[in-house]
Amino acid sequence: VRAPMVAANWKMNGSRAICREFLQHFDVDGSLDVVLFPPFLYTSILTEGFAERSISVGVQNVCNVSSGAYTGEISAEMAVDSGATYGLVGHSERRNLFGESDVLVAEKFMACQRAGLTPVLCVGESFEERLEGRAESVVAGQIDVILKSVGIKTFANAVIAYEPVWAIGTGETARPDQAQSMHAFIRAFLTKFDATTAENTRVLYGGSVNASTAAELFAEGDIDGGLVGGASLEFKEFAKICRSVSR
Ligand code: 13P
């Protein structure tokens, strides 16, 4: 059985004050995996503050190499040293705004696993790709690049997040049946490589999830939780989304 997971991607938002609000007021019941992805600078505040609670912290990006003369970069090892346990890889904003290639995304995925961070691999098609009927092949291609680098077995320690680009930050959530259909496709795709891994790998949905859309999405059989952007910065709203997971 896959444990549900709800994750907050704050993107380049948040502050020490918002961290303190979460530390003071945000809590969830222990059978749900909750992960907060703040900007790097706030990692330690949250990991130290949440040390006694079952709330995990992750980083939104890692460098593909471990250390050295890479001004401005932060390694997966440093994230682990700061108490992080997850790393986002391949978010569409990284791919599109910062030109991250499939090869770089694969290297970052491996950098996470090398350091002991669980990678959360983000995949998803653009609006044009969906219109052209290529949504499934685009998503399969993004996963395949990683499979070719690391092999199916390493997915035992990874999470996939399906984030259709047209649904991110647009207020246009994918319909539950639309999302479910892609999640089932992703699981079927993984099954071709290894049925057990496919059955155990969590696939989260991301794209304009909020407290009113979460429950319907999370009720779908292959949607194992969510990766929430805008609606995750306010602890009450995010707590509501976490409570939308039915077990
Ligand atoms: P929004 O929830 O703001 O649409 O962002 C989704 C996302 O990109 C999470 O990684």
Per DSSP bridges, beta strands 33-37 and 55-59 are parallel
Answer whether 209 contacts ligand 1 (Cβ < 6 A): yes
Percent of the chain scoring above 70 in pLDDT: 100
On the question of pLDDT at 30 being above 80, the answer is: no
Predicted local confidence at residue 29, as pLDDT: 80
Say if residues 202 and 155 touch (Cβ distance below 8 Å): no
Choosing from 77, 91, 93, 129, which is the catalytic residue? 91
Supply the pLDDT for residue 175: 95
d(C-alpha 47, C-alpha 138), whole Å: 35
Does residue 149 carry a pLDDT above 80? Answer: yes
Residue to probe by mutation, ligand 1, list 5, 163, 165, 173, most atoms within 8 Å of CB:
163
Mean pLDDT confidence for 24-29: 91
Identify whether 183 is a catalytic site residue.
no
Residue 91: active-site member: yes
Average pLDDT over residues 232-246: 95
The whole-angstrom distance between residue 203's C-alpha and the CA centroid of its chain comes to 9
Q: How much is the mean pLDDT over the chain?
A: 96
pLDDT exceeds cutoff 90 at 28: no
Could you give the percent of the chain with pLDDT greater than 90?
Answer: 95
Specify the pTM: 0.97
Quick one: pLDDT band at residue 247, thresholds 50, 70, 90? low
Would residue 133 be called left, alpha or beta, if left means φ above 0 and alpha means ψ between -120 and 50 degrees?
left
Three-state DSSP at 99 gives coil
pLDDT digits (tens, 9 = 90+) for 100-130: 999 999 999 999 999 999 999 999 999 999 9
State whether the beta carbon of 232 lies less than 6 angstroms from ligand 1. no
Average pLDDT over residues 24-35: 90
* Arithmetic mean of pLDDT, 21-42: 94
**Is any atom of ligand 1 closer than 6 Å to the C-beta of 227?**
yes
Average pLDDT on 140-157 reads 95
What is the C-alpha R_g of the chain? 17
Strand 203-206 relative to strand 225-228, pairing? parallel
Bridge partners (DSSP) of residue 34 are 6, 55
Residues 6 or more apart in contact with residue 2 via CB below 8 angstroms = 199, 200, 201, 202, 224
Mutate which of 5, 9, 88, 160 for ligand 1 pocket (most atoms within 8 A of beta carbon): 9
